[in-house]
Amino acid sequence: MTVHIESKKEDIAPRVLMPGDPNRAHYIASKYLKDAKLVNRVRGELAYTGTYKDVPVTIFSSGMGIGSMGIYSYELFNDYDVEKIIRIGTAGSYKEDLKVYDIVVADSAYSNTCYDEEAGIENIDTINSSFELNSTIIDTAALKNIKVTTGRLHTSLAFYTESKDYTKYTDLGCVAVEMEAYALLFNAKKFKKQATAIVTISDNLITHEEINSEERERKLDEMIMLALESIIKN
């Protein structure tokens, strides 16, 4: 047990998928895992461990934002000996041609917060994802005929912003914005573990296109399946 997780050490698998939303963790576990068992409910963050194609996998909700993802990914890597984490979530597109429902595999995440300084590693604004995990995801996507692109995510602190000028982020190579990937990659780097993020574009900040609820489910299923197939390899 840690300050924020009540699970027994043996109840968390070395391979973890992290959606932001606890309801989505429940949805994934009930739809895809065999013998799923609820292993965490502290603060409403739900974790389920079961097997996917006979490989133990834990689905653990991260909550929203760098702060929450920072806590859970730290404790999973440090206290539960987790080896690989894939975040699965949604992001807002900064590019006209990166459309809603497109799936982005994060090659890196950028953040201009002071999280790095506070957490003890200074001046790392951009952190790369695991090359091995990304290669597996890209190969798996090709095998399953799922179209993905790779790109840098901007991990923001504020969801509601006054400025609509995103060029300072696109100039740094960011293609889409979300709120958790940086904290996950930061902790993976710190503990020398594997991590990456796969996001589905839910809204386009340039064209203001948004996804509807029906399509949302189907497309998110494609991303979930890609993440599950990839996390069980190697």
Sequence-distant (6+) residues with CB within 8 A of 204 are 92, 93, 96, 98, 99, 100, 210
Q: Which of 21, 79, 203, 221 is catalytic?
A: 203
**Complex with ligand HPA: residue 182 or 186, whichever CB lies closer:** 182
Q: How far is the CB of 197 from ligand HPA (least distance, A)?
A: 12
Sequence-distant (6+) residues with CB within 8 A of 41 are 6
**Complex with ligand HPA: residue 137 or 179, whichever CB lies closer:** 179
Q: DSSP string spanning 214-232? A: HHHHHHHHHHHHHHHHHHT
**Complex with ligand HPA: residue 131 or 159, whichever CB lies closer:** 159
Residue 25 burial (CB < 10 Å; 0-12/13-18/19+)?
buried
Would you say the C-alpha torsion 133, 139, 144, 145 has a positive or negative sign?
Answer: positive
**Complex with ligand HPA: residue 192 or 218, whichever CB lies closer:** 218
Start-to-end C-alpha separation, the chain: 28
Task: Please report how many Cα atoms fall inside a 13 Å half-sphere around the Cα of residue 216, on the Cβ side.
Answer: 11
The token pair at 28 is 């994934």
Q: How far is the CB of 77 from ligand HPA (least distance, A)?
A: 24
The span from the CA of 230 to the CA of 215, in Å, is: 23
Q: How far is the CB of 204 from ligand HPA (least distance, A)?
A: 9
**Complex with ligand HPA: residue 130 or 156, whichever CB lies closer:** 156
**Interface residues toward ligand HPA, by CB under 6 A:** 90-92, 156, 159, 177-179, 202-203, 205
Q: How far is the CB of 82 from ligand HPA (least distance, A)?
A: 24
Q: Please state, in angstroms and as integers, the Cα–Cα distance from residue 131 to each residue in 75, 97, 106, 107, 174, following that order.
A: 23, 25, 10, 8, 18
**Phi, psi dihedral angles at 220 (to 5 degrees):** -65, -30
Tell me if residue 203 is catalytic.
yes
Q: Where are the alpha helices (DSSP H) in 96-163?
A: 115-119, 131-143
Q: How far is the CB of 99 from ligand HPA (least distance, A)?
A: 14
Active site residues: 203
